[in-house]
């Protein structure tokens, strides 16, 4: 992120990185939000200062040459983290504030992902337990099958043991273990039928996400949501036809609640009916 060039509309930011977070100056933030007075952001902050944490904003000092003499001026500048920028934009009343809020959340999401990649954060104990529960449940006491599932899983993610899995791959790992097709007596295989089944399962997951979040998206783009609703109807027919033709049953998850915002990714597969 430190070397990333950030720009919003015609405003080119000069981001600075401190303590692993990206910060923007109040002056640049005011310009991006469409304020003629660059002090407007500071005024917003002063009005709602109690809602900002110490990590969301800070004052920095920099030296600037005042004239051709050797004397310098010490300039104090308020800077905001990306979360702080988003909170400022929530209070802003300019026409572009809504667009800026979406932009800064996209940048923040990329920053968090990049931090995970840079630091190579591994799954925590709770996530490890979740993966183990899936394998134990599906292996049903078959030691050979238990070992084979972990072997294929670790080979797929190129790790020596499942505890080495990176956090950014956790959801993919859950999906992989849940959809790995098992034959009797502990054999595992992947064929065309399994590929079609996995495709249908993931399509059903996407439908569940769409049903949960499309009402909010409709407020941004009603026409697009209407068009995609037609596609979702066609997808439902396709899933039904393929599953009947291939003779497999779709898992009975609680799709109505799986993708609610308060449902954490590692808890979704607990929503079995």
Q: Give the span between the Cα atoms of 262 and 20, in whole angstroms.
A: 27
Q: Residue 81's beta-bridge partner residues?
A: 23
Q: Reduced to 3 states, what is the DSSP secondary structure of residue 149?
A: helix
CA nearest neighbour of 144 among 103, 106, 100, 183: 183
Distance CA 129, CA 152 (A): 18
Q: List, for residues 223-270, the tens digit of each pLDDT value.
A: 888 888 878 878 888 888 888 888 877 776 676 666 665 555 545 445
Q: Is the dihedral of CA 133, 138, 139, 145 positive or negative?
A: negative
Q: Which helix (H) or strand (E) holds 77?
A: strand 72-81
Mean pLDDT of the chain: 79
Question: What distance in Å separates the CA atoms of residue 58 and residue 128, rounded to the nearest whole number?
Answer: 37
pLDDT surpassing 70 at residue 47: yes
pLDDT of 273 reads 38
Most confident of 57-71, 111-125, 141-155, 203-217: 141-155
Looking at residue 158, the DSSP 8-state letter turns out to be: T
pLDDT at position 3 is 44
Q: What is the pLDDT of residue 130?
A: 93
- Please write the tens of the pLDDT for every residue from 65-94: 444 454 566 788 899 988 899 999 999 989
Mean pLDDT of 19-30: 86
Q: HSE of 80 in the Cβ direction (CA atoms, 13 Å)?
A: 23
Element (H, E) at 132: helix 125-139
pLDDT value of position 190? 52
Q: How far apart are CA 131 and CA 125, in angstroms?
A: 10
What pLDDT, in 10s, does the model give residues 111-146?
666 655 555 678 899 999 999 999 999 988 888 888
Say which residues have a Cβ less than 8 Å from residue 236's Cβ, sequence separation at least 6: 207
**pTM, whole model, 2 decimals?**
0.42
What's residue 134's pLDDT?
Answer: 93
């Amino acid at each position: 992120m430190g070397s990333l060039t950030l720009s919003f509309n015609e405003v080119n930011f000069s981001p600075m990185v401190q303590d692993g977070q990206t910060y923007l100056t109040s002056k640049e933030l005011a310009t991006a939000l469409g304020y003629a007075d660059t002090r407007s952001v500071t005024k917003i902050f002063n009005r709602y200062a109690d809602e900002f944490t110490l990590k969301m904003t800070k004052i920095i000092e920099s030296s600037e040459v005042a004239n051709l003499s050797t004397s310098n001026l010490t300039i104090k500048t308020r800077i905001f983290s990306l979360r702080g920028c988003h909170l400022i934009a929530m209070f802003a009343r300019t026409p572009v504030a809504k667009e800026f809020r979406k932009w800064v959340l996209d940048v923040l999401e990329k920053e968090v992902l990049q931090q995970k990649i840079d630091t190579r954060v591994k799954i925590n104990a709770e996530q490890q337990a979740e993966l183990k529960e899936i394998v134990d449940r599906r292996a049903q006491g078959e030691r050979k099958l238990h070992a084979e599932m972990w072997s294929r899983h670790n080979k797929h993610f190129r790790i020596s043991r499942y505890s080495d899995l990176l956090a950014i791959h956790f959801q993919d790992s859950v999906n992989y273990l849940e959809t790995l097709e098992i034959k009797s007596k502990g054999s595992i295989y992947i064929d065309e039928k399994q590929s079609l089944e996995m495709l249908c399962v993931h399509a059903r997951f996407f439908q569940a996400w769409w049903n949960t979040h499309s009402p909010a998206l409709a407020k941004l783009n009603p026409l697009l949501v209407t068009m995609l609703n037609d596609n979702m109807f066609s997808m439902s027919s396709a899933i039904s036809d393929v599953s009947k033709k291939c003779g497999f049953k779709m898992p009975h998850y609680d799709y109505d609640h799986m993708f609610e915002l308060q449902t954490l990714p590692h808890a979704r597969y607990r929503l079995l009916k």
